[in-house]
Amino acid sequence: MSMDQINPGQAVYAQDENGRPFIIVREQGKKVRTHGLEAIRSHILAARAVTNIIKSSLGPRGLDKILISPDGDITVTNDGATILGQMEVEHQIAKLLVEVSKSQDDEIGDGTTGVVVLAGALLSSALSLLDRGIHPIRIADGYEKACEVAVQELDRVADKIEFSKEDTSNLLKTAKTSLGSKIVSIAHDKFANIAVDAVLSVADLARRDVDFELIKVDGKVGGSLEDTSLVKGVVIDKDMSHPQMPTTVRDAKIAILTCPFEPPRPKTKHKLDIESVEEYKKLREYEKEKFLDMIKMVKDTGANLVICQWGFDDEANHLLMQNELPAVRWVGGPEIELIAIATNGRIVPRFEDLTADKLGRAGLVRELTFGTTRDKMLVIEECANTRAVTVFVRGSNKMIIDEAKRALHDAICVVRNLVRDNRVVYGGGAAEICASIAVGKKADEIPTIEQYAMRAFANALDAVPLALAENSGLSPIDTLADVKSRQVTEGNPRLGIDCLGRGENDMKAQHVYDPLISKRQQFLLATQVVRMILRVDDVIDGWPTRSMTQFVIASSMPVIGAGVLVF
């Protein structure tokens, strides 16, 4: 640190016990504090930068992003939550937008890109109002009022769709809307059917509840997306512990164990001295006897298959094979819990506790093999609890499978949302346009300065249809102006952007549906985070510490050995 870098107001001259001179610099002298409108503008520009990154991935014609991790792992996706989650965002306000996207993903499961695009548009609209001298709190209040009007308009234009386990056509249309923007859109009919069947298999329609614990999504490289299937049971990435064990078990009675096949040993440190061949043989006989006792306990309950959370050594494996008791080892905790749920079995921690009524039951357990590789997976089908299902995804490479899993997650969440609330609004920007018109009309009735904020909110809602039109290769402003005028003149809130060029702007005719609760959550979350950002007018990057944190030799000082202390 040179002398011309030190602010004299923040430095004190001092000497140590040997008389050597030092300059003590307080660390807050180097801090840059942003406050007032300057801080708010900085926040808005940061949010706009994040929004611009993912705006181009919105809609059925949206483009994908390639993300490279520090380890070199590659992710190709257009899922907003995944893009933002894997970006290394440093700015504090940009991190808030990442949290909003994650919140939308956790609560709803879809609409993660739209919520960030809307939040960025609201902040951009607020910037022009700030330049006109309107106080940030008045803008935030206006946004709150406008959000209430927009949500009421969504409730007004929403349609109820009917469905049952026999008639799933409306659920399929909504699932296809979600999958239309994904990399799996080439097989969106198959994936939509899988998503709907998976949800209805585990759904309790009387209680309008879906237990996600019973849906597992697994994948294996190989084949094509069209080879993806829905298994009414559980698929685990394991095989039989011995190659000579049977690969198929019918009418399986499954012992689900969390105790290892090994002789008992003290939990404290112990040492065993073997001084002769006889003692070694005695120890081997003891181990073999214990293994045989364990196997007998299992077979006495009537079990014909063992699934164990832990491993077992070669001796135990050999004895299991000799006693015609197939076994699977090293099955993870979540998988073993799912197997217990699917087969109506109990997880047993000790061999002594195993009884016949604790066994899981399945009609068929079989090994799957893939191509010319030695990879195998175990399929447990015809389970006692028929509600447990596994979606088994195939694809040409790991990136395709990962993106297909994310797409399926979104589609399953969309169908789940319709089971919970069967009201839908129409996609293609139709919901945002009709909400924008309603907010604009309401703003004219407001006598206070909040009317400017409400008009800004209405303009921000147009950002979603504008982005859809731009990503589809259309003229954004011309397309939006045309659709908006037709919504007003025809009184039809279903008109949106024809992204796929079908010559039809009625989104109901195109079967482009969005769950109402998803769209409402987008509006509410975006408004809340924008209100929070507008209320921040000061950024303080941590408090100064009082300990010595740095020692630098200042070579430009006239005294040899002088230094600088930074507090």
Structure tokens at 326: 């197939």
Q: Are residues 165 and 200 in contact, defined by beta-carbon separation less than 8 angstroms?
A: yes
Q: Looking at this protein, which amino acid is placed at residue 232?
A: K
Give the pLDDT confidence score for residue 342 in this predicted structure.
87
Active site residues: 79, 112-113, 410
Three-class secondary structure of residue 361 per DSSP: strand
Average pLDDT along the chain: 83
Quick one: 270 exposed, middle or buried, by C-beta within 10 A (0-12, 13-18, 19+)? exposed
pLDDT over 90 (residue 510): no
Average pLDDT, integer, range 336-348: 89
β pairing state of 74-77 and 65-68:
antiparallel
User: What are the φ and ψ backbone dihedral angles of 446, each rounded to 5 degrees?
Assistant: -90, 120
The neighbour count for residue 319, using CB atoms within 10 Å, is 17
Q: Are residues 191 and 174 in contact, defined by beta-carbon separation less than 8 angstroms?
A: no
pLDDT digits (tens, 9 = 90+) for 81-139: 888 888 877 778 888 888 888 888 888 888 888 899 999 999 999 988 988 889 889 99
Give the pLDDT confidence score for residue 535 in this predicted structure.
86
- Say how far residue 467 (Cα) sits from the centre of its chain: 23
pLDDT digits (tens, 9 = 90+) for 386-423: 788 889 998 888 888 888 888 898 889 888 888 888 88
Which of 110-119, 261-270, 284-293 has the highest average model confidence (pLDDT)?
A: 110-119
Q: Does the reported pTM lie above 0.85?
A: no
Q: All domains of the chain, ordered by start, with CATH?
A: 3-30+549-566 (no CATH), 35-160+425-539 (1.10.560.10), 233-385 (3.50.7.10)
Q: Can you tell me the distance from the alpha carbon of 112 to that of 522, in angstroms, rounded to the nearest whole number?
A: 8
Per the DSSP assignment, residues forming a β-bridge with 312 are: 261
What secondary structure does DSSP assign to 147-208, as a single string? HHHHHHHHHHH-EE----SS--HHHHHHHHHHHTTSGGGGGHHHHHHHHHHHHHHHEETTTT
pLDDT over 80 (residue 355): yes
Q: How many CA atoms lie within 13 A of 252 on its CB side?
A: 30
Sorting pLDDT into bands at 50, 70 and 90, what band is 10?
low
Q: Can you tell me the distance from the alpha carbon of 435 to that of 480, in angstroms, rounded to the nearest whole number?
A: 14
pLDDT over 80 (residue 156): yes
Give the pLDDT confidence score for residue 244 in this predicted structure.
87
Sorting pLDDT into bands at 50, 70 and 90, what band is 435?
very high
CA torsion angle 527 528 529 532 (round to 10): 120
Q: Can you tell me the distance from the alpha carbon of 273 to that of 279, in angstroms, rounded to the nearest whole number?
A: 9
Per the DSSP assignment, residues forming a β-bridge with 21 are: 15
pLDDT over 50 (residue 562): no
Give the pLDDT confidence score for residue 456 in this predicted structure.
93
pLDDT over 80 (residue 373): no
Where are the alpha helices (H) located in 384-504, listed in sequence order? 398-420, 430-443, 450-461, 463-471, 476-490
Which of 75-89, 255-269, 466-480 has the highest average model confidence (pLDDT)?
A: 466-480
Closest by alpha carbon to 513, among 421, 405, 409?
421
Give the pLDDT confidence score for residue 267 in this predicted structure.
65
Average pLDDT, integer, range 184-202: 86
Q: Can you tell me the distance from the alpha carbon of 394 to that of 228, in angstroms, rounded to the nearest whole number?
A: 5
Closest by alpha carbon to 500, among 478, 482, 473, 524?
473
How distant, in Å, are the alpha carbons of 92, 183, 352, 528 from that of 356? 57, 47, 12, 55
Structure tokens at 361: 């039951």
Average pLDDT, integer, range 184-208: 85
DSSP state of 544: P
Q: Of 209-218, 340-349, 434-443, 477-486, where does mean pLDDT reach its minimum?
A: 209-218
Give the pLDDT confidence score for residue 544 in this predicted structure.
47
**In sequence order, what are the residues at sequence separation of 6 or more whose Cβ sits closer than 8 angstroms to the Cβ of residue 448?**
none
Q: Which helix (H) or strand (E) holds 103?
A: helix 92-107
The percent of residues in the chain predicted with pLDDT above 90, rounded, is 17
Average pLDDT, integer, range 48-63: 87
Give the pLDDT confidence score for residue 22 in this predicted structure.
63
Give the pLDDT confidence score for residue 555 in this predicted structure.
32
Q: Can you tell me the distance from the alpha carbon of 128 to that of 452, in angstroms, rounded to the nearest whole number?
A: 10
Give the pLDDT confidence score for residue 556 in this predicted structure.
35
pLDDT digits (tens, 9 = 90+) for 452-461: 999 999 999 9
Q: Are residues 159 and 174 in contact, defined by beta-carbon separation less than 8 angstroms?
A: no
Helices 169-179, 398-420: crossing angle, 10 deg rounding: 140
How distant, in Å, are the alpha carbons of 78, 118, 229 from that of 88? 17, 21, 35
Helices 136-157, 430-443: crossing angle, 10 deg rounding: 120
The percent of residues in the chain predicted with pLDDT above 70, rounded, is 88
pLDDT over 70 (residue 567): no
Q: How many CA atoms lie within 13 A of 217 on its CB side?
A: 22
